[in-house]
Amino acid sequence: MRSRVPQCPREDRRGEAGEGCIHVPLLHCPQQDVDRPERDSSFHEDRVARCDSPLRGLHRQPEKRKDIAEEVSQEMNKLPSDDVAYLMAALIFMGEGDIENALRVFHMSESLECIAGSIQCLLKLDRADLATKELRKMQEIDEDATLSQLALAWCNMYVGKDKLNDAFYIYQEMMDKYGANPTLLVSQASCLIQQEKYAEAEKLLMDAQQRDAHNAEVLVNLVACSQFLGKPTEVTNRYMKQLITEFPHHSWSIDYAAKEKLFERVVLETSA
């Protein structure tokens, strides 16, 4: 079972990466709307309509995933020339597993955020050669930027073997600079899992879970660790139940549900 790596760590207010996601620059919206306490749907729709396109992209993400992905797909040629709009549209496609369209949108921008996103897509497609070319672009723009360092760590983790140590220490340097958080701890744990250092990985994951008890990537990696360490079945099942219940749209949960259906079908076919 492969471990999973979250996207990027938290950085300070001047930093380049937000916790658990690729950095989105500060967005602008009428301040009186932001400060208003109303939460009804009419207020929400009015606020989104009056805000600029990047913020509308942010509001699109949480709800009606498939409908939103289709809407964005239809608007591909109408996207404003805005790095945030490109970023949010591509992330929506990534969330739906549409890597081809995500890559197409990421390539519309030369921002570090979008290049980093394209690297993630290419690694998902097992195109480490193309991901490395994109990494060089980032390094030419700003080799010391947090996203550039993260992208280097992602590529190192894909290569594996000795490069896993390099990735581990990149994450450690970020912890030393910005402090530990669940995203960095899970990233380090994933390096250790690939090195078969399961007990050490579990310690980092337990630390991450104490910091965030409802983190999907922590749970996915705890499932992997508990199986590798031969933990009691109820331990693994507890992590799996929480993951499926709290994160039904997570790629792990979707894949697990598909395999359950496949197993049930095979059982029916063999018993017929």
Average pLDDT over residues 69-96: 77
On the CB side of 37, how many CA atoms lie within 13 Å of its CA? 0
- State the CB neighbour count (10 A cutoff) for residue 100: 10
Question: Do the domain assignments include residue 236?
Answer: no
Residue percentage of the chain with pLDDT more than 90: 61
195, 4 Cβ separation under 8 angstroms: no
- Rounded to 5°, the CA angle 162-164-169 comes to 110
- State the CB neighbour count (10 A cutoff) for residue 178: 16
Nearest to 69 by CA among 93, 103, 94: 93
The C-alpha atoms of residue 89 and residue 86 are separated, in whole angstroms, by 5
85, 79 Cβ separation under 8 angstroms: yes
Question: Do the domain assignments include residue 252?
Answer: no
Question: Which band of pLDDT confidence, cut at 50, 70 and 90, is reported for residue 96?
Answer: confident
Question: Which band of pLDDT confidence, cut at 50, 70 and 90, is reported for residue 237?
Answer: very high
Q: Identify residue 153 by its one-letter amino acid code.
A: A
The 3-class SS string of 201-268 reads: HHHHHHHHHHHCCCCHHHHHHHHHHHHHCCCCHHHHHHHHHHHHHHCCCCHHHHHHHHHHHHHHHHHH
pLDDT of residue 77: 63
Q: Is residue 18 scored above 50 in pLDDT?
A: no
Counted domains in the chain: 1
Question: Do the domain assignments include residue 219?
Answer: no
Question: Which band of pLDDT confidence, cut at 50, 70 and 90, is reported for residue 272?
Answer: confident
* CATH number of the domain residue 76 falls in: 1.25.40.10
Q: Is residue 2 scored above 80 in pLDDT?
A: no
Q: Which helix (H) or strand (E) holds 172?
A: helix 163-178
Residue percentage of the chain with pLDDT more than 70: 71
- Rounded to 5°, the CA angle 88-128-175 comes to 65
Question: Do the domain assignments include residue 195?
Answer: no
Q: Identify residue 110 by its one-letter amino acid code.
A: E
Question: Do the domain assignments include residue 188?
Answer: no
pLDDT of residue 32: 31
pLDDT of residue 10: 37
Question: Do the domain assignments include residue 104?
Answer: yes
Domain holding 135, by residue range, is 62-139
The average confidence (pLDDT) of the chain is: 80
Question: Do the domain assignments include residue 181?
Answer: no
- State the CB neighbour count (10 A cutoff) for residue 135: 22
Question: Which of 19-23, 216-220, 243-247 is predicted least confidently?
Answer: 19-23
Helix/strand/coil for 7:
coil
The C-alpha atoms of residue 56 and residue 47 are separated, in whole angstroms, by 9
Nearest to 84 by CA among 62, 112, 118: 112
* 11 against 245, higher pLDDT: 245
Question: Do the domain assignments include residue 119?
Answer: yes
